[in-house]
Amino acid sequence: MNGSTRRHPCSMIPLGLLLASVASAEPPSGPPADGLACRLACDRTEYAPGETVELTAAVQNVGKDTRLLPAHAVCAHERFGRLARLCLVTPRGQKWLKQIPLPGPAHDAVGYQELQPTWSTSIGIESFRLLADPPGWELEPNPVGSARAGLSLRLQGQYRLWVEFESAPLREAPPQAWAGKVWSNEVSFTVRDVSGRLRLDDATSEQIALLDRFVESGGRDAADLQTALLRAENEGLALEVVEKLRAALESASEPVPAWWGSLHALVQERACDSVTRRLGIEGVFLTRLVELQLALLEREEQSAPAARWPAPDPQALLVYLNSERREGTLVFRAIAYAERHAKLPPASDAGESPVPAPRPLERRAGLTLAWDILLRSGRLHDGITLAQAEQILGPPTERRDDSVDWYANSPRHVNPKLWARLREDQLYDWTNSLR
């Protein structure tokens, strides 16, 4: 190899190890392109809404000659590097594309990755959850007038999936450099709700042992428990986790256990994705978790010893308020809590802007949380009159001809701000943010 060529032996692994769920003796089923083939596999063929699809993909040299691939992604300013994207066809027949993140370009020299015959290299596909409106996907351009409904991976039915891999070397690249485009084999999976026959309403003895090990380790031994909680059928395990959290919370005489915050985060990840903050797996456990989060908020509000407890970000509560299966009693309870914390403090006699007093869940800003609850529950909604909003929020800090806002000014770098468009004394297009 010359000085401009770099090898990456650590990423060269046998295809059989890389794609363990597919027989390694089989040749790649995607059409080879000039000696290279691409292969894709997923861990299962059936999922429930909110679960995670685990993918594995690799490019293999199926020819007789050694090939070189650019070692990084395509540069933004020049057509050099390699590019991979995931292609998905939904039950509605729409085709969606998602760029697969690859390593960035080297700063000091052009790097190449060597693929000897039979060698393979992994394509860095990230697993994805079956969520509504997932980020990163783009709809392939459709004919004029065709439907353009948003993507929801919670839609039940069959999905088709494949990978496109492309390589573009420099003009002065070595002769072994591979240039072209190759498609993987197509895989399919089905999304449908877990039926009562498959759902485990009671935790198994093995799952109880997983939970016990997690608690005994102080919250450090989490990998297996997290995997189990992200399977929709393990409803009984999720209920067991929420019950353990509730029992510990009600034991006011004991200090907060080291595992409590981590266990709460694990079961909340089942309920809603921590990155996108969208609904994950539904079930009775979600209602119980929301009850627990409301109890913790109310306990903090009453200045009980809850100051010793971790104050979790109640994303499950916020997601639940948008859920079709929400219960009226919990919604009214959440609204009542929010209305007690939704008004700005009075301005000082000196005419300064109001400064918010300390509130529950301070790290999320009590006002922002209260406003989130009011918006997601529909208590604040498009078309509400300004007078009705003032009864809930108090007078706005600023009113213009076409908009109003409530802003909690303080010496902090960012502060809660609630904004709405004003039209004929009615409010629309609410925005809750930190500014």
Q: Please tell us whether the domain made up of 9-191 is placed in CATH 3.40.50.1980.
A: no
Q: pLDDT-derived band of residue 74, with 50, 70 and 90 as boundaries?
A: low
pLDDT of residue 116: 93
Domain ranges of the chain: 9-191, 195-326, 347-435
pLDDT of residue 253: 62
Topology at the third CATH level for domain 347-435:
Beta-lactamase Inhibitory Protein; Chain:B, domain 1 (3.30.1450)
Most confident of 11-15, 69-73, 143-147, 391-395: 391-395
Label residue 355 exposed, middle or buried (CB < 10 Å: 0-12, 13-18, 19+). Answer: middle
- Tokens at residue 118, please? 């039979």
Please give the average per-residue pLDDT across 388-397, as a whole number: 96
pLDDT of residue 104: 53
pLDDT of residue 397: 94
User: Buried b / exposed e across 311-342, counting CB within 10 Å, b at 16+?
Assistant: bbbbbbbbbbbebeebeeebbebbbebbbebb
What CA–CA distance (Å, rounded) separates 38 from 32?
Answer: 7
Query: Are 279 and 319 spatial neighbours (Cβ–Cβ below 8 Å)?
Result: yes
pLDDT of residue 177: 86
Q: Which residue has the tokens 């409803």?
A: 235
Q: pLDDT-derived band of residue 110, with 50, 70 and 90 as boundaries?
A: low
Indicate if the pLDDT at residue 252 is higher than 90: no
Indicate if the pLDDT at residue 106 is higher than 50: no
pLDDT of residue 180: 87
State the CB neighbour count (10 A cutoff) for residue 188: 12
- Tokens at residue 35, please? 């000696």
Distance of CA 78 to the CA centre of its chain: 32
Q: pLDDT-derived band of residue 79, with 50, 70 and 90 as boundaries?
A: low
Q: What residues form DSSP beta bridges with 405? A: 398, 419
What CA–CA distance (Å, rounded) separates 43 from 165?
Answer: 21
pLDDT of residue 16: 42
Q: What is the dihedral of CA 176, 181, 182, 188, to 10 degrees?
A: 150
Pairing of strands 398-399, 403-407: antiparallel
User: Buried b / exposed e across 97-116, counting CB within 10 Å, b at 16+?
Assistant: ebebebeebeeeebbbbbbe
Most confident of 141-150, 214-223, 307-316: 214-223
What CA–CA distance (Å, rounded) separates 9 from 29?
Answer: 25
Domains 9-191 and 347-435 fall in the same CATH topology: no
**What does the mean pLDDT of the chain come to?**
82
Q: Can you tell me whether residue 46 is helix, strand or coil?
A: strand
> Radius of gyration (Cα) for the chain, nearest Å?
27
* pLDDT, tens digit (0-9, with 9 covering 90-100), for 81-99: 778 899 999 999 999 999 8
Indicate if the pLDDT at residue 20 is higher than 70: no
